[in-house]
Amino acid sequence: MKWELEQTDDEPDLTPMIDIVFLLIVFFMTVASVVTAKRVEIKAPIATNSIIAETQENRKAASLKSDGTIYYEGAEVSVDDLKAHLSDSLGGNPAMQLLLRIDIGTAYSDTRDLMAACAEVGAVNIIFTTYQTDK
């Protein structure tokens, strides 16, 4: 009996792998645009004694621009909306930290009013954003 080898095309089909790679590229580009869109541009103050937080878990962010505009998690909100969001967040997680990003040109009265609104709903665990310097 003579064995005959059958001629087959043993090369793998790369089309599904290429499709998956393109889908991953689209996914990461979409996620990257969403992550960068949440960031509100401010000019933070410089502090010589600032400390970098050990963890960024369990944290929400609010920003206050120099014109008095308030942003919560990247979206513009009013003081009442901010209080509602903070109240909801604290209801599900009482240990939540609030990261306040306040522009260097913001009037103290606006900062005071924002902190008072946070205190009204019980958001008292506050971290302030600053730039760190060696001087």
Inside any domain, residue 24: no
Residue 109 tokens, joined: 């009265």
- Summarised one tens digit per residue, pLDDT across range 40-62 is 888 888 888 877 777 777 888 89
Inside any domain, residue 113: yes
Selection from 18-22, 36-40, 131-135 with the highest mean pLDDT? 18-22
**Its pTM surpasses 0.75:** no
How far apart are alpha carbons 123 and 108 in whole angstroms? 19
Lowest mean pLDDT, pick from 17-21, 26-30, 113-117: 26-30
Residue of higher predicted confidence among 32 and 6: 32
Q: 37 pLDDT exceeds 70?
A: no
What DSSP letter does each residue of 69-108 carry, written as one string?
Answer: -EEETTEEE-HHHHHHHHHHHHHH-TT-EEEEEE-TT--H
Inside any domain, residue 128: yes
Inside any domain, residue 50: yes
User: How many domains does the structure of the chain reveal?
Assistant: 1
Inside any domain, residue 104: yes
Name the residue range of residue 92's domain: 46-132
